Amino acid sequence: MSCTIEKALADAKALVERLRDHDDAAESLIEQTTALNKRVEAMKQYQEEIQELNEVARHRPRSTLVMGIQQENRQIRELQQENKELRTSLEEHQSALELIMSKYREQMFRLLMASKKDDPGIITKLKEQHSK
């Protein structure tokens, strides 16, 4: 068995490459493990918070919880009714404003027609605007 320096260097080079590959794989595993550890910690914290909330809810009497829910439902119904009234009021205001604006446009059209009887170009322009 003759061992040459070139063969020893080639073997050393191959070993270095394998060590680099193993090192990269180890780094990847460390990153994955860290990420999983963070997820597990977050899940534990979430579970602890849920347990605390459940304990707080258990200490309150059921009747108190039911009364709170009923009060919220009443408030929601009142707000819904107020929204309906506001929508109706808004629609009435919009229709009134549309009526006022149409009367205003009509009056302005009549006024301009009276003052510009001699210019047919302005009259056609006003008619187009009035029709819009």
**Highest mean pLDDT, choosing among 54-58, 103-107, 123-127:** 103-107
Residue 89 belongs to domain spanning: 64-131
Backbone phi and psi for residue 118, each to the nearest 5 degrees, phi listed first: -85, -20
Q: What is the pLDDT of residues 19-64, one digit of tens each?
A: 999 999 999 999 999 999 999 999 999 999 888 887 877 776 777 7
Taking 90 as the threshold, does the pLDDT of residue 117 lie above it? no
Among 42, 59, 76, the domain boundary falls at: 59
Taking 60 as the threshold, does the pLDDT of residue 1 lie above it? no
pLDDT (0 to 100) of residue 46: 93
What DSSP element (H or E) covers 63?
Answer: helix 62-115
Among 25, 43, 59, the domain boundary falls at: 59
CA distances from 118 to 2, 109, 122, 127, 128 (A): 121, 15, 9, 15, 18
Specify whether 8 is located in the same domain as 28: yes
Tokens standing for residue 92:
């009435």
Specify whether 33 is located in the same domain as 46: yes
Torsion over CA of 75, 81, 84 and 89, rounded to 10 degrees?
Answer: -110
Among 34, 59, 84, the domain boundary falls at: 59
Specify whether 20 is located in the same domain as 72: no
What DSSP letter does each residue of 6-54 carry, written as one string? HHHHHHHHHHHHHHHHHHHHHHHHHHHHHHHHHHHHHHHHHHHHHHHHH
Q: What is the pLDDT of residues 60-97, one digit of tens each?
A: 677 777 888 899 999 999 999 999 999 999 999 999 99
Count of domains for the chain: 2
